[in-house]
Amino acid sequence: MKILVNQKMFELLLSGWLILAPVIFVVLFFFPAPYGRHWKNGWGAQVPSRVGWIIMELVSLLGMTWLFLTGTRSNNAVAVFFLALWLLHYGYRALLFPLTRRYTKPSMPFVIVLFGMVFNICNSFFNGFFLFHLAAPYPTVWFLDMRFILGVILFLVGFGIHTHSDHILNKLKSAQHSDYRIPYGGFFRWVSCPNYFGEIIEWTGWALATWSLAGLGFALWTVANLAPRALFHHKWYYKTFRDYPPERKALVPFLF
């Protein structure tokens, strides 16, 4: 199936995507997305949280796979490796994470699911179309390039921090403790939102490994979405728990 987007159109769309990221970054410092601990009434129809997470994350997994299958890079080892990294993250986010998570809030606004789907569709399109349809095939020697090696290391380290932090948060919730509690262990020693910190490291690594503006766009959008929310989480923790560790930062150890 041919996608009717030429290089000039792709570059124009990607430029707009890159410009929009800092705008959303600023907006989200004033309006936290109303789900989880920042849940609010008045956002319309609700869907079960588990279903909402699966729907909005699955589109990225399926979208990238479709772009790979309809592209011309199926025999390119580097492209296959990039697809594997993507599926590692979104296999976790779309299936393992929502299916094993214990939810404090049973529902979330459907509009948040829609926003999440739009973001993931755009993100998978820009990265998948570039990697599998537009860019020249990466040579096998790219596996030995320091940008690729360092990028993959960052991606895997970030993925480890992200998933381990999710595991710590999930263990806090049980039939006896359905409310929020102070998390300890792992990178929670230094920051309130190490799961977000891990995701930012992941997609910074992706941008470096792919050495692309599409990858950079993903990294920028990850910061735009998660940095403001981390700050709201951080303030919420201090407001909710009097004994919250004062040495913790919001997102980046020792800095922010």
pLDDT in tens, 124-157: 999 999 999 999 999 999 999 999 999 999 999 9
Strand 107-109 and strand 46-48: the pairing is antiparallel
Q: Which residues contact 192 (CB under 8 A, 6 or more apart)?
A: 230, 233, 234, 237, 248, 249, 250, 251
Global pTM value: 0.92
- Mean pLDDT check: name the lowest of 54-68, 94-108, 153-167, 173-187: 173-187
Cβ atoms of 110 and 55 within 8 Å: the answer is no
What is the greatest pairwise CA distance in the chain?
58
Q: Is residue 116 within 8 Å of residue 63, measured between CB atoms?
A: no
Q: State yes or no: pLDDT of 162 exceeds 70.
A: yes
Query: Does residue 176 have a pLDDT over 70?
Result: no
| For residue 175, pLDDT beyond 60 | no
Token code pair at residue 254? 């020792």
Q: In whole numbers, what is the pLDDT of the chain averaged over residues?
A: 92
pLDDT of residue 44: 78
Q: Is the pLDDT of residue 237 over 50?
A: yes
The single residue listed with the structure tokens 């998570």 is: 101
pLDDT tens digits along 6-33: 899 999 999 999 999 999 999 998 887 7
Measured between alpha carbons, how far is 83 from 74 in angstroms, rounded to an integer? 10
Element (H, E) at 109: strand 107-109
Backbone angles phi, psi at 108, to 5 degrees: -145, 155
- In contact, 86 and 67? CB cutoff 8 Å: no
For the segment 178-220, what is each residue's pLDDT rounded down to a tens digit? 578 899 999 999 999 999 999 999 999 999 999 999 999 999 9
Instruction: Report percent pLDDT > 70 for the chain.
Output: 93
